[in-house]
Chains A and B, each alone.
Chain A
Amino acid sequence: MKALGARSAFYVGFVVGTCTLYVLLRQVGFTRNVGSVEPEAHKKSPLEMVEEENKNWKKERLALFNLNHPHHTGEDGTLADALYKRVRILCWVMTGPNNLEKKARHVKATWSRHCNIVVFISSVDDPDFPTVGLNTKEGRDQLYWKTIRAFHYVMDKHGDEADWFLKADDDTYVVVDNLRWILASHSPEDPVYFGRRFKPYVKQGYMSGGAGYVLSKEALRRFVVGFRTKVCTHTSSVEDLALGQCMEKIGVVAGDSRDTLERETFHPFVPESHLTGTFPKTFWYWNYCYYPIVQGPQCCSDLAVSFHYVDASHMYLLEYYTYHLRAFGYKYRYQPPEPSVIQDLNAPAPDKVEIGDIEEKLGAEEQEGEKKSLEHNEKL
């Protein structure tokens, strides 16, 4: 009886010992898991994400200043960097409080990172996002008011910090690097604006609102002056048409934004529609385009600048196609010419204001500036 008890106690002890140690070792992670090899994707903690954002963006005066032109691993971005410095673009994005989470934040996470400065225009100030509130209501009938005030706002606050001023919607996708390629062959002192040119109603044509349009500094100056002198007023709520009518009155030329093979760069629809779509012959589009419409692959330049009606996941898809996915070693069929501004890289850039200078002036200017803009907005 005694011997049996001892033996079984021994066996029980053996089992207990094995199990205990196994559990212990497993906790420590010593025993090998039958798991698959984990991919190296490092999920960033919220704090890390904020830190990274702070390194690349500077939030100031309700605008986002890009400190680092985004670079991709393994690429040679010298040409893009040179253009980034020479062709400074301020992007303002038409949005609203209800669309910040649904739409605007995807713009913020994708293409707007390639602008020199980004301003999100809303009806309400939001210092976190950040958005600028322009004393308007929301709704389609407010679009031209928002546009007028937005352009006045960016002229006032950021007029010296950019050469070109782009307007886009929160469902427009813009390839800012390609916009720089187009604009590099023009001077910001020329009164000109670019976009997807439509022909009706305005003699020289006007630019589609959804596809985005960009004003030179001189065009913006004249726009502001035009409103001050009442040459331009709030004629209608059809923002793109009304703006186009104003542009014609103040002598700003409606430019041709097509590439050197006469292919469109600004697009009022998603790539799928232009590349594969068959617009019915009764569709308004056929009567609107200033230049001959091409369907199929030649609809769109390789150096496309914009697409419209782009929803959230589509933004990331286009970002992936534009900046990430490529064919190794492929020699592109279209070899665009270098814009002339690249050739005089050694010449100093006009009106260049460093971020450091802005920081210095900030304290003194801010109070004065705010007073001025308040007056201005009241007048409008």
Chain B
Amino acid sequence: MMSEGSSFMKGMILGGIFCLVMSFFETFNSGTHSEGHEHLHHHLKPVSKDELEKLSESQMSDWTLQVRVYCLIMVTPKLLVHWATANDTWSKHCDKSVFYTSESSKALEAVDLQEQDEWARLRKAIKHAYENAGDLRWFFVARPTTFAIIENLKYLVLDKDPSQPFYIGHTEKSGELDYVEYDSGIVLSYEAMRRLIGMFKDEDRCPERGHALWKTPEEKQLATCLKYSGVFAENGEDAQGKGLFNKKSVSSLISDNMGQNPADAVEACCSDMAITFAGMSPSQMQVLMYGVYRLRPYGHDFHDSLTFLPPKDSDND
């Protein structure tokens, strides 16, 4: 009787110590691991205002050149109205914007890839963009149902070296795979593009036509190919940790946040330096164009270290 009791007690104490040791080990391990993981891979923020202020004139002009963006806008004739809207609005702020279509439309100009499969189309577009990049080093891939504020994209990648692999956007997890959500736009650096195109040749790990019976969405196929070439998805966010890439419309995000205390709706909904919104109607996109590039309260100025000029031959910005 006594020996059983004491055995039980010994067992309990040993169990407790075991648990303590394991949790110490776990925190220490996952702490450094995730910290390291976060620091290098997960969250990407813009350069701080202090850093910007320390820059010299020449550094500033170097960065202005380096941060130019090639926009790949993946369209189909079904999305004609959004296509026309993207053409008339935000795409004018890309340094080069090219529309890639599944089949040509008489109404609007585009590179006709003559390809119905989305993943195959994306691959062709990426190859075409890389070959025609000139001296542009940043690439932004989106559908015309997305609205992008390119100046804020430039702000995010301003101090990042495009000869390093970068794959940025709103990240989601699918099992073990971190991927960038297509609807909220995908940012790729020149090096990421280069590696990706290299990976396209690998028919086993990065096939053009999937072998499976079901189709994997192209955003996940992209993430897989990039992962095999050592490029990992990073979530773009502002200094306060708010996501910059949104897969919803501005009005949805505001409604979502109006619940408990509507007065917080504006602060909580979205970042001041938001880069993308998705799921907006063409007229909502025109209003957003006005809201970003024109509507403002007189007398409130921001002395940003960089200047981006309005595009030529445009009147809605």
User: Do A178 and B297 touch (CB < 8 A)?
Assistant: yes
Q: Contact between B290 and A31 (Cβ–Cβ < 8 Å)? A: no
> Among B17, B241, B258, B273, which residue has its beta carbon within 8 angstroms of that of A313?
B258
- How many angstroms between the C-alpha atoms of A114 and B300 in the bound complex? 12
With the chains together, A110 CA to B262 CA distance in Å? Answer: 10
Which residue of B is nearest A18, CB measured?
B15
* Measured CA separation A72–B300 after assembly (Å): 9
CB distance from B178 to the nearest CB of A (A): 12
How long is the Cα–Cα vector from A314 to B100 in the complex, in angstroms?
34
A-contact bits for B191-228, CB 8 A (1 contact / 0 none): 00000000000000000000000000000000000000
CB proximity of B116 to chain A, nearest CB, Å:
32
How far apart are the CA atoms of A20 and B14 in the complex, in Å? Answer: 12
- Within the complex, the shortest CB–CB distance from A345 to chain B, in Å, comes to 13
Q: Which of B23, B265, B274, B296 contacts A31 (CB 8 A)?
A: B23
Whether A75 is near chain B, meaning CB under 8 Å from some CB there, is yes
Q: Is the interface of A mostly helix, strand, loop or mixed?
A: helix
Q: A14-B18, A39-B241, A272-B284 are in contact. Are A302 and B301 (CB under 8 A)?
A: no
State whether A181 touches B8 (Cβ < 8 A): no
Q: Which residue in A81, A275, A322 is a CB contact (below 8 Å) of B286?
A: A275
The answer to whether B266 and A316 touch across the interface, beta carbons within 8 angstroms, is yes
Encoded as 1 (CB less than 8 Å from any A CB) or 0, chain B from 1 to 35 comes to: 00111011111111111111001001100110000
Q: B276-317 toward A: CB 8 Å interface, digit per residue (1/0)?
A: 000000111011101111111111111111111110000111
The answer to whether A32 touches B26, judged by C-beta atoms less than 8 angstroms apart, is yes
Flag whether B181 is at the interface (Cβ < 8 A): no
Q: Mark A254-294, 1 if CB is under 8 A from B, else 0.
A: 00000000000000000110011100000000000000000
Q: Could you tell me if B19 and A5 are in contact, using CB atoms closer than 8 angstroms? A: no
Q: Smallest distance from the beta carbon of B44 to chain A beta carbons, Å?
A: 13
Q: Please give the distance in Å from B71's CB to the nearest CB on chain A.
A: 15
Q: In the complex, identify which listed stretch (B105-113, B124-132, B133-141, B147-155) lies at the interface while the others stay far away.
A: B147-155
Whether the Cβ atoms of B292 and A18 lie closer than 8 Å is no
Contact between chains at B290 and A13 (CB < 8 Å): no
Q: Is the CB of B250 within 8 A of A330?
A: no
| Residue A21 is within 8 A (CB to CB) of chain B in the complex | yes
- B156 CB to nearest chain A CB (Å): 9
Instruction: Name the residue on B nearest A297 (C-beta).
Output: B316
A127: Cβ under 8 A from any B Cβ: no
Q: In the complex, how many angstroms separate the beta carbon of B308 from the nearest chain A beta carbon?
A: 5
Report if A21-B16 is in contact (Cβ < 8 Å); known contacts: A9-B5, A327-B151.
Answer: yes
CB pair A330–B310 under 8 Å, yes or no, is yes
Contacting residues, chain B, for A77 (C-beta < 8 A): 299-301
B315 touches A9 (CB 8 A): no
- Residue contact B16 to A20, C-beta cutoff 8 Å: yes
CB contact between A6 and one of B7, B240, B297 (< 8 Å): that residue? B7
Q: Does B254 contact A (CB under 8 A)?
A: yes
Which B residue's beta carbon lies closest to that of A52?
A: B263
A329 with B307: in contact, given A17-B19, A79-B301, A316-B262 (CB under 8 Å)?
Answer: yes
Other-chain contact of B308, A10, A272, A329 (Cβ < 8 Å):
A329
- Verify B262–A312 contact, CB threshold 8 A: yes
Q: A71 to B251, alpha carbons, bound, how many Å?
A: 24
Tell me which residues across on chain A come within 8 A of B5, comparing CB atoms.
Answer: 9
Within the complex, which residue of A15, A43, A303, A328 is in contact with B15, where a contact is CB–CB below 8 Å? A15
Residues of B bordering A, CB below 8 Å: 3-5, 7-20, 23, 26-27, 30-31, 38, 43, 49, 93, 149, 151-152, 154-155, 240-242, 250-251, 254-255, 258, 260-270, 272-274, 282-284, 286-288, 290-310, 315-317
Given contacts A74-B302, A303-B296, A321-B287, 16 further A-B contacts (CB under 8 A): A12-B8, A13-B13, A32-B27, A39-B241, A49-B263, A76-B300, A77-B300, A80-B297, A80-B298, A275-B286, A313-B251, A313-B265, A317-B254, A322-B296, A328-B304, A328-B308
